[in-house]
Structure 1
Amino acid sequence: MILVFGKTGQLASELALHEGVTCLGRDMADLSDPEACAAAIHAHAPDAVINAAAYTAVDKAEEEEELATVINGVAPAAMARACADLGIPFVTVSTDYVFDGSGDAAWNPEDATGPLEAYGRSKLVGEEALRAAGGIHAILRTSWVVSAHGNNFVKTMLRLGAERERLTVVADQIGAPTPARDIAAACLEMARQLVQDPGKSGTYHLSGRPETSWAGFAREIFARAGLSCEVVDIPSSAYPTPAQRPLNSRLDCTLLETVFGISQPDWRTGLDDILKDLGEGA
């Protein structure tokens, strides 16, 4: 059995569809109470643990960095220690926001981190604490998560695209959408392989392909959903937010494929699946 922290988020909703998975919602394991999370691991005695829960309100984290750090940093640390005690793998999902977004080269897992905002800092705390726990582990950094569940860019664009004839969308942030369905499959495969080969522990990247901008992504959403809304490119400076977003969110996913045999998904295929799940499409 694989124990998953999270139940209703984008990633946890996809993980819950797989056999042999037990998901713990906030009512059973609140990440604002890290020791309760550790106790849940000991109580369930699973074969592996996947942390699919997180504080993801990037802008709100600027005002709630302490809470974000408990949920994204202290709680995963407690989970990691519990897993290390039991000798079982722990897989957690992190983010491209741990990097400073400089340059235009894809980030490698070993590149120096330098988060620009509270959310990225909170996730980095979790990464560092997990490694320090010394157990069997995998940190999977990803970017621009989308699905048919919860709130995300695809659903926002579908709503606004149906209401308006023209939208301005940021075009100087470059990365790639990553379907939650593919992240879930990757996490499960990594957990299973780590049971057999703990030596695969480490930090990995998974994002969709090909790279694009938010504006380019919006155009693809509208085209595939049959919406005629025009997308006008704007720079990030024209759309100020409390938290600074990285301009370069490209992730080099070579190591994940080399070690685990997991290839980058084409996000356009994932987008088609999302639109089908939502009952949208041309």
Structure 2
Amino acid sequence: MNSIQLEYFAAVARAGGFSAAARKLCLTQPALSKQIRLLEEELGVPLFLRQAHGIHLTKEGTRLLSRAEEITRKIRNIPSELHDMHRPVSGELNIVSGFFISRKIMPDLLKRLLLRYPGIRPRIREVPLAEQTEAILNGTADIGIGSFHRPHERLSCHPIFKSDLVLIRSSRSDLADRKRLTKRQIAARDLICHPQGTLMHSLVRRILHPYAPNVFMDSANSSTIIELVRENFGLAFVPDYLIEPEQRSGIIIGGFETGEQLTVSYHYDPGRTPSPQTQAFIGIIREKFGLDPVASSGQDRA
């Protein structure tokens, strides 16, 4: 088995037939068929079901296809990767990030990045998590940093740190002296929540199940939610890392075990080899947060 056979196999699978694939590869059909037959003989399994009305991948062929495409893509990238080793890292780096993360951890990351790689030009967009995923998968962003409850199956996600979801209430609340609160007590009170359709809103509903949350007002900005709680407009659930030291006076944290955590991670599309700029940024992230360095960020998989 060799990379040429894998490339031919992937071409036949994509084209849906030997004739069309042979034309695209500038080969004769018998020559292409022979290489596929040799590959099947070596693997000991059929890769295609050959029928009168066309061909279809077998289950073994389906499994091989993703691996074959990954291998051939990596081989094609070798020349450019070796070339990149001999030139300074420079160029545009498109980053998508959550609103609060942009303010909380991005400035120091960018300071470190530009100190070491002054030729990189970072571009940051602050967007919700769903839009981060879309931007990365459609190629308009190179890397994202955000909070996940469960990683998206199509992203390569790498945890930076975890954060507990905590209940907060004002120190002026009539519940301030309660050591422990129940679901029923919380659900009966005004809640300040992230908008419906967001991950945080879904988590709050799950935490309080079977009781429905009594949402008094909502905000997409976690800092706003925390300030509204301080002013005693209601209760809220937030990730504890979002609570700034200066915000801790005037609020009470805890009193209810949510059992929920969010993971702050960096994430990118494993279907595209990370650019040198992206690899440099990943190295800075891992250095700042004391994560083990990776030999090659392009192979840094979840």
- TM-score in terms of structure 1 length: 0.27
- TM-score in terms of structure 2 length: 0.25
- For the pair shown, which has the larger CA radius of gyration, 1 or 2? 2
Structure number with higher strand proportion: 2
